[in-house]
Amino acid sequence: MEKKKKGKLYYALCGAVIGAVNGLFGSGGGVAAVPALGHAGLTVKESHASSLAVTLPLSAVSMVVYSLGQDFNWSDALPLIPFGLAGALIGGLVLKKISNVWLKRIFGGLLILAGGRMLLT
C-alpha cells in the first residue's frame, strides 16, 4: 500500500531542518533527509536519490558560508574532490542495483557506526 504524500508545510519544515543540519554538520543533511522523505511517502530509493538532489545545493551554500569564515582551507578540500566525485558515481551506480532491504540495513548500520564513534571519541 502506498503512503499518502505529505503537504507543503511538512516539506517546508523538513527543508529547514535538513538545511540546518547540513550547515551544522557539513553535508549531514542527507542523514536527516532520507528518513524525512521516506516518512513523506517516497520509496527507499526515491528517498536516497532525492536526498542527493537536496544536499547538493545545500552543500554549495554551506561551502560558501564556511569559505567566508576562518574555518575553511581550499588546500585541505581540493585533494578530496576528485575522489569524492568518483565515490559519488560509484554509489549512484550501486544504488540502482541494491535491494531496498539492503539499502536500509547499510544506511542504518552506517548511522549506528557513525553515532557510536562520535559518542566514544
Given a cut of 80, whether residue 30 has pLDDT beyond it is no
| Whole-number percent of the chain with pLDDT over 70 | 94
Q: What's the chain's average pLDDT?
A: 85
Q: Rounded to two decimals, what is the model's pTM?
A: 0.72
Cα three-residue angle 27-58-68, rounded to 5 degrees:
85
d(CA 117, CA 40): 29
Residue among 37, 33, 76 at smallest CA distance from 57: 33
**pLDDT, tens only, 32-61:** 888 888 888 888 899 888 888 888 888 888
